[in-house]
């Protein structure tokens, strides 16, 4: 029991430190560069890609952060942007579904590639799968919402 508590304390501190060291710099960098032309160009380019799974330009930035750095960090930006802009439940649902299927594209994939997994399958195939699942679930959710309203 004592060692479980010790694991919990050290593990929690480790988790907190990692989240802190990533979340705070991401938020600062976002704040500093969100208004710049270069950042907007990157987000617009990404928005043109994720438009195909039903995401709008406002959802592009949180999705990009999650895709690159991880679900927790993307989730953090989603929470921030829900607070700031009205993202809308539909957009949050699409983002959550997409990021559930694929996030931290470099870090997570590399762990398994180092073990011998195929780059094509763990990266390209997974992205395509994520897009298909997102489209399918959004269609189902749309039907459910429509039926509930009717």
Partner 1 sequence: MESTGDDPASARPATASGPPFGAPSPSPAPGLGARLRRDLRIGVKAGLQTFWELARVMIPAYGLTLVLERLGVIEWLAHLARPLMSVLGLPGDAAVPLMVGYVLNIYAAVGSMQALHLSAQQITVLAIAILIGHNLLVEGAVLHKAGMNGFAFGALRVVAGLAAAAVANLLMGLF
Q: Are 62 and 76 in contact (CB under 8 A)?
A: no
Q: Closest Cα to residue 63, out of 75, 54, 52, 79?
A: 75
75 binds partner 1 (CB under 8 A): yes
Task: Give the range of 20-28, 45-53, 142-150 binding partner 1 by CB under 8 A.
Answer: 20-28
User: Are 138 and 94 a contacting pair, CB within 8 Å?
Assistant: yes
DSSP 51: G
User: Which 124-143 positions form the footprint of partner 1 (CB under 8 A)?
Assistant: 125-126, 129, 133, 137
Count of residues of this chain found to bind partner 1 when the rule CB under 8 A is applied: 52
Radius of gyration from C-alpha coordinates of the chain:
18
Interaction of residue 48 with partner 1, rule CB under 8 A: no
| Contact set with partner 1 (CB under 8 A) | 4, 7-8, 11-12, 15-16, 19-20, 23-32, 71-72, 75-80, 82, 89, 92-93, 95-97, 100-102, 108-109, 111-112, 115-118, 121-122, 125-126, 129, 133, 137
């Amino acid at each position: 029991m004592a060692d479980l508590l010790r694991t919990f304390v050290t593990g929690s501190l480790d988790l907190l430190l990692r989240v802190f060291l990533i979340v705070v710099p991401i938020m600062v960098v976002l704040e500093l560069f969100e208004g710049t032309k270069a950042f907007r160009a990157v987000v617009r380019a990404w928005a043109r890609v994720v438009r195909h799974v039903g995401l709008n330009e406002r959802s592009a930035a949180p999705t990009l952060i999650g895709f690159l750095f991880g679900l927790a960090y993307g989730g953090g930006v989603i929470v921030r942007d829900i607070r700031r802009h009205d993202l809308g439940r539909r957009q949050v649902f699409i983002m959550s579904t997409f990021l559930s299927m694929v996030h931290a594209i470099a870090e997570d994939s590399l762990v398994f590639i180092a073990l011998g997994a195929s780059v094509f399958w763990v990266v390209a195939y997974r992205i395509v799968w994520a897009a298909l699942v997102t489209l399918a679930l959004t269609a189902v959710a749309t039907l459910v919402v429509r039926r509930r309203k009717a």
